[in-house]
Amino acid sequence: MQTKIILPEDKLPKQWYNIIPDLPGPLAPVISPRTGEPVTPEELLAIFPPAILEQEMSSQRWIDIPEQVRDIYTMWRPSPMFRAHRLEKALGTPAKIYYKYEGVSPAGSHKPNSAIPQAFYNKQAGIKRLATETGAGQWGSSLSLACSLFGLECTVYMVKVSYFQKPYRKSMMQMWGATVYPSPSEMTEAGRAALAENPDSNGSLGLAISEAVEDAATHGDTNYALGSVLNHVCMHQTVIGLEAIEQMKMVGDYPDVVIACCGGGSNFAGLAFPFLADKSAGKQVRCLAVEPASCPTLTKGVYDFDYGDTAKLGPIAKMYTLGHDFMPPGIHAGGLRYHGESPLVSQLYNAGLIEARAVMQTGCFEGAILFAKTEGIVPAPESSHAVRAAIDEALLAKEEGKEKTILFNLSGHGFMDMTAYDNYLAGNLEDYEYPAEMVQESLKHLPKVKL
Amino acid sequence: MQTKIILPEDKLPKQWYNIIPDLPGPLAPVISPRTGEPVTPEELLAIFPPAILEQEMSSQRWIDIPEQVRDIYTMWRPSPMFRAHRLEKALGTPAKIYYKYEGVSPAGSHKPNSAIPQAFYNKQAGIKRLATETGAGQWGSSLSLACSLFGLECTVYMVKVSYFQKPYRKSMMQMWGATVYPSPSEMTEAGRAALAENPDSNGSLGLAISEAVEDAATHGDTNYALGSVLNHVCMHQTVIGLEAIEQMKMVGDYPDVVIACCGGGSNFAGLAFPFLADKSAGKQVRCLAVEPASCPTLTKGVYDFDYGDTAKLGPIAKMYTLGHDFMPPGIHAGGLRYHGESPLVSQLYNAGLIEARAVMQTGCFEGAILFAKTEGIVPAPESSHAVRAAIDEALLAKEEGKEKTILFNLSGHGFMDMTAYDNYLAGNLEDYEYPAEMVQESLKHLPKVKL
């Protein structure tokens, strides 16, 4: 009974898949908050290196992965795929459940897939320091690792609620040499303004982005790196899905549905985009993005132009949004607390090419513990959203007496999130559905964009 | 440039290697603390299942790994080996450094290699619950996982200093369904006696063993499981070295020295024993056991009969010991705080067939951080002892201008030990060499054994 599906190192993808040329229509332009006009390359070059900017705009379907990046990828890639025999048995389902496991990266999640090339291209461009934000700490630790490997300095603005909920993540970044500030911080105008308004602010990913962008924009030797949302980040993550397709071939199977949790969208994109493009199996796979009911961007947001950050410093993009001043509660899946969504994922969802579902956090932890007790691995709270949805799909298959092949991305491990499990086991976690009327209130503040 | 050396799943060892028939002389008998005579099988059957007892005494060189155990091993085995190109470069050493990585197991260390078969044989014997102790929490979490997979209950007595230093480890055990008590606890006579003497006791592995053994001995449906020291535990761990030999063959190399940290000895035994027995390369490898200067069992202890536990409930064995009432300081490598040592490792050390070295904890953390910055992986504090010694061997090779092939076991990751890294980075960790005169004091209390 084969459990692990291991792709040989020489099958590590040589190119990333860029979905832009395969979209159902042109991408809406990104708008400058300063001019209200489409953003110019010059504005973006203040915070991004040329190679990243080129990737962000590229209409080339396949983009070469530099050798130096592939070399570091091999530290943990190709990542393993597992058949969840024990979970299937515990559920009594006729469905086959596979999962791709990204928790084997040194930082413990899929995030280094983009942190490594971003650090590489910035180093190449002569940049000395990268500034970034982090929610759960997965991205911040991944960029800290990447900067350490390429000899760059790293400054991380960590959403305050996560800074205190996940002290180990902070320590990990510091161990890799990064400087970490709880956001809102006193280091930036955006942070000071937020603190003046509410000294006890929990922070948000949108606000932390404002701080990091401001830091990069105001320091010549410093660039900004974003861990999700943007096109190039989604593209870097496609190594996940590209490997998964090969691994599925190795066992002669193919998924009916692929499932990933969805915050900014890069993790979902990484698994789903290559499957959306794959015609080899002669069938179309369902792609399901899973988000928290407390931050229901796709399922309760609107598809419109909005700021990517709270302080309105970053570009305006057309995406699903809950409003840039949406302030999510301090749920444990800190990586899924973003008000917006990747424009790529948004366009696909709007076109009906992918599905979305919002789930409650206690159901996610319940699923994660069943998973840990059967498959051994402790899922990250973010990944537990995909676990929950995979279990629900498997239970539905059981109810309907149907065979089905499910593949989900276990995007990270939860070794550093045990406080959340503690709270769940102690019965201290509450479910929370973000009220529609509060979303409506936030949506009143969308920027006016005329094209 | 190949980084990962991946052994195919069909090369997972089918047998464990038992070193007993290859020892330089007969093993000293194990003595009953009750009778002062060699312990009888009946006494041991009160706490161990027959299959484990048979393995403990076996003079068979190769012992079959049950299919059900191999099946679970494949969740993470064969474990990867890495060539540490980046660390070598950072050190500027002519030495080649390889490491076997056991942190890929669901519990994050090598410990499940023995927890899985122990749970299997106990389940097979109709046992309902296992009681055990844990230092750093690595063994306790591994047994919790194993019990969860085989449907057994699990009670863990966790050394109090680790219970508070490593709360995430405790949560992990609870997540897998175990009941965890800080030791000394109120649950046992041994615990109550220790608390009466010193209510603020930090606990020790020896004392926690007393509690677990008492729990098992006083409950008919409960057995005891030990995570190190005993012959069968060392044997279960030999999958590490057996795989490593195959992986070395895959790259056409062979180590001059193999290095592992050494607490109770099973991790060291797991890597080193198969290499001691291996004649395929036509050369004898040096085997180096690394221990903390604060608990220097091999380098400062005596080779004599001593109790395995503080309360003198468990058997008396001939081993290197610091004395059963040795109370180590609360250093961060909780898994290396045991006063005794595997009798197998002890005999080999006494016969001059292996080497030992004691290292200071700040040097270990310094090495671990260099390792994390170059190789990515965050080492467990215990494993950092092997990292330190490997770095020192590589620096010596540089000094001497000699080529050398070094293999060490990175026995676990440090994701759950970030508090220790925090303390190190903040300059709060102190080095401590256990004073020879205090060892001498403890050694006055060795049991009198006449054979």
Beta strands A15-17 and A62-64 are antiparallel
CA distance A34 to A316: 10
C-alpha neighbours within 13 Å on the C-beta side of residue A424: 25
Per residue in B423-446, pLDDT (tens digit) is 999 999 888 888 888 888 889 999
Inter-chain touch A176–B372, beta carbons under 8 Å: yes
Tell me whether residues B419 and A145 touch, CB distance under 8 A. no
Instruction: In whole angstroms, give the CA distance from residue A73 to residue B266.
Output: 32
Residue B314 banded pLDDT, cuts 50, 70, 90: confident
Mutate to test the interface with A, among B11, B373, B421 (most CBs of A within 10 A): B373
Question: Which pLDDT belongs to residue A1?
Answer: 67
CA B336 to CA B237: how far, in whole Å? 17
Tokens encoding A5: 């599906």
User: Per-residue pLDDT tens for B34-70?
Assistant: 889 999 999 999 999 999 999 999 999 999 999 999 9
Residue A336 has what pLDDT?
84
The answer, yes or no, to whether the previous bond of A78 is cis (omega within 30 of 0) is yes
Coil, helix or strand for A16? strand
Q: For residue A330, what pLDDT is reported?
A: 66
| Contact assessment for residue A321 and residue A304, using Cβ atoms and an 8 Å cutoff | yes
Higher pLDDT, A435 or A222: A222
B437, with CB counted inside 10 A (0-12, 13-18, 19+), is: exposed
Residues 6 or more apart from B426 whose CB is under 8 A from it? none
Is the model's pTM score more than 0.90? yes
| Average pLDDT score over residue span A98-103 | 98
pLDDT at B23 > cutoff 80: yes
- Does position A327 have pLDDT exceeding 90, yes or no? no
Q: How many CB atoms lie within 10 A of CB A251?
A: 13
Would you call B174 and A422 a contact, using CB atoms and an 8 Å cutoff?
yes
Phi–psi pair at B379, nearest 5 degrees: -75, 145
Over residues A313-329, the mean pLDDT reads 88
Q: Which residues of A touch B71 (CB under 8 A)?
A: 1, 3
Give B110's DSSP letter: S
Contact list in A for residue B428 (CB cut-off 8 A) is: none
B32 touches chain A (CB under 8 A): no
Kindly tell me if the per-residue pLDDT of B91 is higher than 80: yes
CB atoms within 10 A of CB B302: 17
Contact A175 B418 (CB under 8 A): yes
Element (H, E) at A40: none
- Name the residue among A82, A171, A378 with its Cβ closest to that of B422: A171
Point out which residues pair with B138 in neighbouring strands.
none
CA–CA separation, A361 and A331 (whole Å): 8
Query: Does the structure show a pLDDT above 80 at A451?
Result: no
pLDDT at B139 over 90: yes
| A421/B378 touch (CB, cutoff 8 Å), yes or no | no
Q: In what order do the strands lie in the sheet with B286-292?
A: B4-5, B81-83, B96-101, B405-410, B257-261, B286-292, B355-359
Higher pLDDT: B310 or B93? It is B93
Calculate how close chain A gets to B1, using CA atoms only, in Å.
Answer: 8
- Identify the H or E element spanning B416: none
The pLDDT of residue A329 is above 80 = no
Is 90 exceeded by the pLDDT of residue B282?
Answer: no
Cβ–Cβ gap B174/A104 under 8 Å: no
Bridging pattern class, strands A153-159 and A129-134: parallel
Asked if the Cβ–Cβ distance from A373 to B176 is below 8 Å, we say: yes
CA pair distance A240, A236, nearest whole angstrom? 9
- Residue located via tokens 């092939």: B405
CA A205 vs CA A226, A228, B194: distances in Å:
11, 11, 49
pLDDT tens for each residue of A332-373: 777 787 899 999 999 999 999 999 999 999 999 999 999 999
- pLDDT range class, residue A185, cuts 50, 70, 90: very high
Check B168 against A415: CB less than 8 A apart: yes
Within an 8 Å CB–CB cutoff, is residue A375 touching chain B? yes
> According to the model, what pLDDT value does residue B110 have?
98
Domains of chain A: 47-65+111-231 (3.40.50.1100), 76-108+236-439 (3.40.50.1100)
**Residue in the block written with tokens 């085989």:** B150
The mean-pLDDT minimum among A50-59, A74-83, A274-283, B255-264 falls in A274-283
Contact B423, B429 (CB under 8 A): yes
As given in the structure block, the two tokens for residue A273 are 């985009």
The helix/strand/coil state of A166 is coil
How confident is the model at residue A304, as a pLDDT? 96
Between CA B73 and CA B52 the distance in angstroms is 18
Q: Residues B20-37: what's their mean pLDDT? A: 93
Q: How far apart are CA A178 and CA A186, in angstroms?
A: 18
Confidence of residue B1 (pLDDT cuts 50, 70, 90): low
Taking 70 as the threshold, does the pLDDT of residue A187 lie above it?
A: yes
> What value does the CA radius of gyration of chain B take, rounded to a whole number of Å?
20
Residue A213: DSSP 8-state: H
Q: Is A137 left (phi over 0), alpha (psi -120 to 50) or beta?
A: left
Residues B380-389 have pLDDT tens digits of: 999 999 999 9
| A251 in B contact zone (CB under 8 Å) | no
Residue type, B17: Y
DSSP codes of every residue in B142-207: HHHHHHHHHT-EEEEEEEHHHHHH-HHHHHHHHHTT-EEEEES-SSSHHHHHHHHH-TT----HHH
Q: Which of A175, A371, A423 is best to mutate for the B interface (most B CBs within 10 A)?
A: A175
**What is the complex's ipTM, to 2 decimals?**
0.94
Q: Which amino acid is at A388?
A: R
Crossing angle (nearest 10°) for helices B418-425 and A167-175? 50
**Chain B residue nearest residue A417, CA to CA:** B168
Distance from CA of B106 to the nearest CA of A (A): 5
* Cis amide linkage into residue B167, ω under 30° from 0: no
For chain A, report the end-to-end CA distance as a whole number of angstroms.
58
Largest interatomic CA distance in chain A: 61
pLDDT of res. A438: 84
d(CA A324, CA A305): 10
For range B361-377, the mean pLDDT: 97
Least confident of A175-189, B261-275, B279-293: B279-293
- What is the DSSP annotation of B126-144? T--EEEEEESSSHHHHHHH
Residues of A in contact with B413 (CB under 8 A): 415
Compute the distance between CA of residue A204 and CA of residue B291 in angstroms, rounded to an integer. 45
- Judged by DSSP in three states, A117 sits in helix
Whether residue B174 is predicted with pLDDT greater than 80 in this model: the reply is yes
**A168 vs A116: which has the higher pLDDT:** A116
Q: What is the largest CA-CA distance in chain B?
A: 61
pLDDT at B11: 96
Residue B330 has pLDDT above 70, yes or no: no
Closest CA to A344 of A206, A228, A210: A228
A89 shares contact with chain B (CB less than 8 Å): no
